[in-house]
Amino acid sequence: MKRYFWVLVGIFAVGLVLGIAPGVLGRWGQIPSLRSGMTDSKYNFQNRTPQETLNNFITALETGNLDLVISFIDPTYEARLNYRASLGKVLKSKDETIFLIEKFRRMVPFESDITHEGDYKFVLKNKDGKVENIVDMELNKETGKWLIQDF
């Protein structure tokens, strides 16, 4: 009789472990420090407007997560690999990262140069009012998200 009792206890224990372990391990995988910042819900950016995309791009720069930063650049844009290399270098330097973030924060909409629907630009003007930098964005019609084409 004791033998059956221990067999049942063993089966129950194995069932308990197999039933609970996936749930526990599933939750363990949701701990932000164990995953890439891109999949963390606080970085689940919607990017439904150009301004929201610019603000989220700045937030991504502040995190220092290169994959997250690159996710804002249109994947079909052929220079994306160049951006990965150059932004990787910038993110390694705190001073350069702060400088770049401040540049993006000073950008303003540049609606006079919109060439077509789904196109949007932000500019950074110098003290003389001349355009110093441009961020060109395109609306991805499939996802409804704005992505950076060039800067």
> What contacts 24+ positions apart, CB below 8 Å, involve 56-60?
57/104, 57/148, 58/101, 58/104, 58/105
Q: How many residues appear in the chain?
A: 151
What Å distances lie between residue 49 and 19, 42, 105, 137, CA to CA? 44, 18, 16, 10
SS (H, E, C) 61-96: HHHCCHHHHHCCECCCCCCHHHHHHHHHHHHHCHHH
pLDDT digit string, tens, across residues 43-88: 566 778 899 999 999 999 999 988 888 888 877 767 777 888 888 9
What does pTM read for this prediction? Answer: 0.66
pLDDT digit string, tens, across residues 94-120: 999 999 999 999 999 987 766 678 889
The pLDDT, as a whole number, for residue 39 is 38
**Coil, helix or strand for 119?**
strand
**What single DSSP character describes residue 36?**
-
Query: Contact at 8 Å (CB) between 134 and 119?
Result: no
Taking all residues of the chain, what is their mean pLDDT, rounded to a whole number?
76
